[in-house]
Amino acid sequence: MDLRSLKPDAYARLSNNRPQVLSKDRGYGVIYLDYGNLIFALPLRSNLNHPSGFKTILSGGVWNGIDYSKALIVDADDFELAAFKTRENDEYLKIKRNKDKIKKEFIEYLTEYVTVISDGKDLPKKFKFTTLQYFHTELDLT
């Protein structure tokens, strides 16, 4: 589980027909993980103010962390080669120590989302603003 940034052309491709996915001109640091035949990029956030993520460090009274609700489905060549550097080394170390936990929690989040959509159930609050809604084709939910 490495930390990287996405290439500018990846941002352009990912936001095509789904502009809500990314803020313009923002260099997100992401961790990426493989699950099934897909690659997910999970962005690091400097204000993780909800429970759908992994909290890393408290900074200025707010939690930094990895936001599961803003996951992107990407291609292997979408990542910059250079590593993304966190502001504090403690954050990087906590991510590295907890990589299995992060993957497990994200897969649980993803699985619950896919199940809710597949079953046609009402969308729980935690999925209201998820970016997964823009990747139904990739998730075989169309």
Q: What is the pTM of this model?
A: 0.91
Instruction: Name the phi and psi angles at 47, rounded to 5.
Output: -145, 85
pLDDT in tens, the chain (142 residues): 789 998 988 888 888 776 666 655 555 799 999 999 999 999 999 889 999 999 999 999 999 999 999 999 999 999 998 999 898 899 999 999 999 999 999 999 999 999 999 999 999 999 998 999 999 999 999 8
pLDDT for position 43: 92
> Which CATH number fits the domain 3-134, given the four candidates 3.10.129.130, 2.60.120.960, 3.30.530.20, 3.40.47.10?
3.10.129.130
Cα 60 to Cα 1, 46, 86, distances in angstroms: 27, 10, 15
Structural domain spans, the chain: 3-134
6 closest CA partner among 58, 63, 59, 72 = 72
Question: How far is Cα 75 from Cα 50, in angstroms, rounded to an integer?
Answer: 27
Question: How far is Cα 51 from Cα 34, in angstroms, rounded to an integer?
Answer: 22
Question: How far is Cα 42 from Cα 126, in angstroms, rounded to an integer?
Answer: 16
Contacts 24+ apart (CB under 8 A), 53-62: 54/95, 54/98, 54/101, 54/102, 54/105, 56/86, 56/90, 56/91, 56/94, 56/95, 57/88, 57/90, 57/91, 57/94, 59/87, 59/88
Q: Residue 111: is it exposed, middle or buried by C-beta count within 10 angstroms (0-12/13-18/19+)?
A: exposed
